[in-house]
């Protein structure tokens, strides 16, 4: 497969994993998020110019301990902005999601594992809006 080309089955499988993540985020469902993220996954941000590394297990605990956007009646505004593949086993997906007043742009790195496509890393930018 040429660099950057996508097959429809691969594209559908990647989109399904990302939708599971976005559903889990909105619903506050740590099990859905865990299903989308490989156990080795980490989240990265640099809110004050210093890289913050947040392991998946710590993030899932945080999700379980906070009210979900859905339970707070917050509008769901997530969307997939771009999907890019390299070969048939690596992809990068750019998404927008929010937990008002925080709005996120996520860059999700996915690999096709023996269990299917999984998010192995997330790098994100957060914007606060009033």
For the record, the structure tokens of 100 come out as 């008002």
Single pTM value for the model: 0.91
The pLDDT of residue 5: 59
pLDDT for res 1: 43
The phi and psi torsions of 28 (rounded to 5 degrees) equal 70, 30
Place of tokens 């469902």: 29
pLDDT in tens, the chain (130 residues): 444 556 788 999 999 999 999 999 999 999 999 999 999 999 999 999 999 999 999 999 999 999 999 999 998 999 999 999 998 899 999 999 999 899 999 999 999 999 999 999 999 999 999 8
Tokens of 78: 């997530």
pLDDT score at 8: 80
């Amino acid at each position: 497969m040429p660099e950057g080309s996508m097959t429809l089955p691969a594209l559908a499988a990647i989109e399904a994993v990302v939708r599971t993540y976005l559903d889990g985020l909105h619903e506050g469902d740590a099990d859905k998020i865990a299903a989308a993220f490989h156990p080795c996954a980490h989240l990265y941000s640099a809110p004050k110019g210093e890289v913050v590394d947040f392991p998946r297990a710590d993030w899932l605990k945080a999700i379980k301990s906070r009210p979900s956007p859905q339970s707070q009646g917050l509008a769901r505004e997530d969307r997939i902005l771009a999907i890019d593949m390299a070969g048939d086993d690596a992809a990068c997906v750019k998404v927008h999601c929010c937990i008002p007043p925080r709005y996120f742009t996520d860059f999700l790195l996915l690999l096709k594992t023996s269990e299917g496509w999984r998010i192995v890393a997330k790098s994100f930018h957060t914007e606060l809006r009033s």
